[in-house]
Amino acid sequence: MGVSVSIEVYRDAWGIPHLRAGSARELAYAQGRNAATDRAWQIEVERHRSQGTTAAFLGAEAVGWDRFVRQARVEDTARRCFARLDADTAAWVSSYVDGVNAGLREGQPRSPEFAATGLVPGQWQPWTPLGIWLSTHILFAGFPTKLWREEVARALGNASVELFATDGPGTSGSNGWLVTGGRTVTGAPLIAGDPHRFIEDPGVYQQIHLACPEFDVVGLAVPGVPGIGHFGHTGSVAWAITNAMADYQDLYREQLRRNDARVEALGPDGWRPAAVHVETVEVAGADPVDVEVIETDRGPVIIGGPDEEYAISLRCPPRVREDLGFGALPELLRATTVADVDRAFDRWAEPVNVVQAADTEGGLLHRVAGAVPLRHRDNQLRVVPAWEAGHEWRGWHAPLPREDVDDVAVMANQRGLAGPLGVEFAAPHRADRIRQLLEESAAWSAKGMAAVHTDTHLASARPLLDLLAGLDGLSPDAVRLREALLRWDRRMDATSTEAAAFAALRSAVVRRLAACPELARLAEPPAYPETFLPWLALVPKVAYALEGLLTTALLPGIDRAEVVRAAVEDIAAHEAARSRTPATWGETHRLLPWQAVPGAAQEEWPGLSGDHDCVLSTSSVPGLTDLSARGPAARYVWDLARREDSLWVVPLGASGVPGGAHYRDQLPLWVRGELLPVVTDWNHLTLTEENHDF
């Protein structure tokens, strides 16, 4: 049955969609339809990921994720959260879903992945966008780190439980900064930053412009989800977020038993029945897999079961509260002041973020938003026993932390504003460097912010270089390498041979540290589901905790100087034996985006500047690979003087259609650190579609 709507679709020179409609609901429909025509394959993969049905077309390698999503009750939680939405928000989300369902028919033939996998687009349900949001963010708080701490405590003792504390590869962070008018050429604030996520193909953020009589907003949308939740500019107010690094998910060790056809779980008040049923995961090219889904009073069991040696359940706010915070999304679109943004984020739930906002009236905002439970400190650190009293949730943190903004505000996942809410934070290097750069000028412009986005100074190199400087008795080749590294400006530029040499030395040190007897006992990953293995692998853990491991007193049996000595001799000998000129960092530090179905022809991806602890955070895994799968999933600068002077860029392009003109056209700019103008004048756009009835 057709839906009568009045919409206009415009495009700018980069193919970015600008949508205009007669009402907010018609605009939601237009946004959903645009996502389906431009990103059909991407959003259908995300729908299946949220349902735990990806193995049906991706094969056996996807079973682990599907099992986790089924056991974690992701889709059921999305249903419950949708049912609790207010009527207006529910209708707005439903209009978006109607648009998706209308557009998938057009989007399918534009995406060859459907034919390659045999997938046929399915029917979206009203709660599907909520399921996509939850499945995308359920691992953001990094609860598997608690499994790792259990292994560290078992192997090294309780005193070492936080030995590897760091922003590891399983989490996602961001850079974000707000510069007040006293430091800008216009006298109006600037908000800038870049969310660090796994770089996906197509990209996880879509540049978009949404306009109707009620509002006119530009920002970065998540395909498959209505509105603009994370980064937006309404003309009079702009906002952006970073990951607060809060801890808000708990793991409980459960005792389960079967009692006839029932499963029972031991809690503080004794044995109580658990909800249990069986679901079947279909697998392309293999037999289906049955998954027993169990939920105790704490939450869904995601590891083990009543017939295994152990069982662990997950407790997370959206399941407990039946709320993802979607009520904030339409409010953000209508915001005209910082106060409006602040009120909207009072409704935010998942994930927990630090919000920065500014408006044209002088309003400024720097606060945490989201749902963080109050509970025992042990819950934040470890897997806690479900049968012991004292580990229950006792309400919610309120009010959440906030700070006044006097000059600049910086959040780069460091321990700071959100410190009371978390355990592990990023090292302070990115935040310190951003603040240092911003304080060097009182005449910042939107264009000037590119110099901050692309800064490659690596402060975390210091402990390793200090150890290197103190070595004596090195071979001549090792001495030459040491002297070159000690002269190095500590910039991880793609063209730098010294950066490449440092990365090689760092990787060698990581591997040697991981092989030390004191740490090697952690090398064998525990028998947990494969979805959690990125948090449980020793070499990545050593790599991202290297600064601390080179300076801590908790591992007295490791002679760090000798580890570095052996590593530098190895690297120097290897380089001396090479017949070619020294490699540059960009030769090995290349982009490697995630693709649900990699193309038949291996694509040649560009070399990158930056490193994990640089402001230009292009993360690899030292000791394993220099390839970068995670980095800035977008860059933005919101100008409060004139919105049309704002800038942005995404890693690949505005379109998710392979081979299209705008599929990869932003990649060269993104690599170089350049930004595109945000176009908001409809006279400078091309009308491509108008007044359709669907």
pLDDT of residue 366: 98
CB 205 within 8 A of CB 220: yes
pLDDT in tens, 605-637: 999 999 999 999 999 999 999 999 999 999 999
Say how far residue 247 (Cα) sits from the centre of its chain. Answer: 15
pLDDT of residue 170: 44
Instruction: Compute the distance between CA of residue 108 and CA of residue 442 in angstroms, rounded to an integer.
Output: 50
pLDDT of residue 297: 97
> What are the phi and psi torsion angles at 440 (to 5°)?
-80, -10
pLDDT in tens, 382-408: 999 999 999 999 999 999 999 999 999
CB atoms within 10 A of CB 480: 14
pLDDT of residue 693: 60
Instruction: Compute the distance between CA of residue 453 and CA of residue 130 in angstroms, rounded to an integer.
Output: 31
**C-alpha distance from residue 47 to each of 78, 121, 206, 521, 529 (Å):** 12, 10, 17, 40, 22
SS3 290: strand
CB 161 within 8 A of CB 341: no
* CB-based contacts of 626, cutoff 8 Å, min separation 6: 503, 507, 585, 588, 589, 590, 620
Instruction: Compute the distance between CA of residue 73 and CA of residue 599 in angstroms, rounded to an integer.
Output: 32
pLDDT of residue 581: 83
Torsion over CA of 130, 136, 140 and 143, rounded to 10 degrees? 90
Q: Two tokens at 302? A: 């995601």
pLDDT of residue 614: 96
Identify the CA nearest to 550 among candidates 428, 617, 612, 461: 461
CB 413 within 8 A of CB 188: no
Single-letter amino acid, residue 188: A
Instruction: Compute the distance between CA of residue 616 and CA of residue 540 in angstroms, rounded to an integer.
Output: 20
What's the first-to-final CA gap in the chain, in angstroms?
8
Instruction: Compute the distance between CA of residue 198 and CA of residue 629 in angstroms, rounded to an integer.
Output: 6
Question: Average pLDDT of each block of 10 consecutive residues along the chain (694 residues)?
Answer: 76 97 97 97 97 96 97 98 98 98 95 93 97 95 92 90 66 84 97 95 96 97 96 98 95 96 95 97 97 98 95 98 97 98 97 97 97 96 96 97 96 91 92 96 97 97 97 95 97 98 98 95 89 92 94 91 96 84 94 82 88 96 96 97 97 93 96 97 91 60
Q: Two tokens at 668? A: 């060269």
| Helix, strand, coil % in the chain, rounded to nearest 5 | 35, 20, 40
